[in-house]
Structure 1
């Protein structure tokens, strides 16, 4: 068993070294060097295979001389990092900073230019002098936004609660079938959570049409995935003492869940749910920018027309509601502890 463990660590450390060397080569060839000199990098699948081959051979040589950075990362001991591994890590970090600066096209000159500062001054002046004539329309859109978030959170609760038990490793490791169900649900929820609500809003806007229904569906899908993960992790961290005590009486698994697990997770679940509603209120504003309804859609319309005084009112109203929600959410979660 230990032999297999050592072999697995060796493979993982080798792959880590391959990745870091490949990453440095790609960063230098595709981003940093073309920005410094006139150089056109080669493209194509064969070139990528070549980079991987170079990284693989280099990693093998590095391991032969016991200079592996990957082995240091995976090691439980606190010995010093090999010299080559240290240089490789610093080179990868430096390449990341330089490549990030180049890709994001950072320009302090443009940021502090007279034209840029004048444009910023005009916008901020308009934002602090809001147009109050649209207050009633904006308030209606803001209420719609809050209810989009509330409805998405409420509808997401039952499936999240059920799926959390099926995706808790401690409860689903008893048989091959249950562990397979655990893996499938974990995969689906992880995949759903990896897609931002903004993307889900675009998908549902095409599916059901632009409006609050699309926004609610987008938030609901992401909320189910997020709450399932949080709930299941809380279930995995509970005290096993009450579970073992009730199981010793010959109780049915449903009775174990009812009397040993649920009493330990009610308060954390409520805290997670309230915090998620707080997040959904913020996200409901953003998804409105892509047709998810609410005040975000209204904000996009006025911004597109460059009506900054109206935009200023909307931003102030959004900030006020988010501040209220954040305060109330924090107080409730504090009371639940």
Structure 2
């Protein structure tokens, strides 16, 4: 397979690129290299003969078209997106530009390329638009997000992703472009930018900084180890039905406070200090519009395509904490640059 990955220098995109290169696929990563995209995340595969990189903004339609024409992909994995809720509260315009206009450009570049393919390759071509469970809004104490759950986004980020999902669906129904959509729960694992909850807690704890917990810490998320998500994406692209959506979740619901406590326990075991790390926990003002609970029903993916998450929350967290302990060379420069040090997303 020849796979073009947008946003392939980001957290999930780089994990996908590393996996596909390791599987022998020819991979082209397209990334603008904003604050969230780092070539260091691709360093393990950077010298591979079956890997290539192009610094392209997905809002540049002409450059996208040139990349398609030169690389001739069999599949497009569209992961390029602004994805941090706190940032979206302060800089909503960037989310509209990348997540909506950028997705439009990716779909149009894919369509123009797909329509010119010979019939056999045209039938095999796929575009996988990778989205989030946040488009569904907030759950109560019970229930799960299904593929037919009505959309109810609550933040500029989730609203822009919901709009992108609708564009992807429209390009399938209107133009016949073989698009699939995946909606995943909260990812975690190696190479995650230290502005998201788990790496922030790990690195703040190592540095003796306060461990910020929004509100009462009772917001619930379904946690998915990034490599399990990557396996799901490859399966959906290979065997999924065009025009369908597939929810990807780890079936690992935890409150934010439970997550923070688990990180502290692991650090107490692997990076002992004079006092327990949990003593650094500090409750801070909640995020505006903070959804209370997300939980994914991954039955369609599990029953139709046979996917199963390989990591439990316990094993995935152990691997994640150990990775950050062993890889200061990756996250150190980001912390020195201020990534994840100052809180964002508070209304002025």
Superposition TM-score tier, normalisation by shorter sequence: under 0.3
What is the TM-score with the length of structure 1 in the denominator?
Answer: 0.21
Instruction: Compare the two structures and name the one with the higher strand fraction.
Output: 2
TM-score, structure 2 normalization: 0.21
Determine which structure has the larger helix proportion and give its number. Answer: 1
Larger radius of gyration: 1
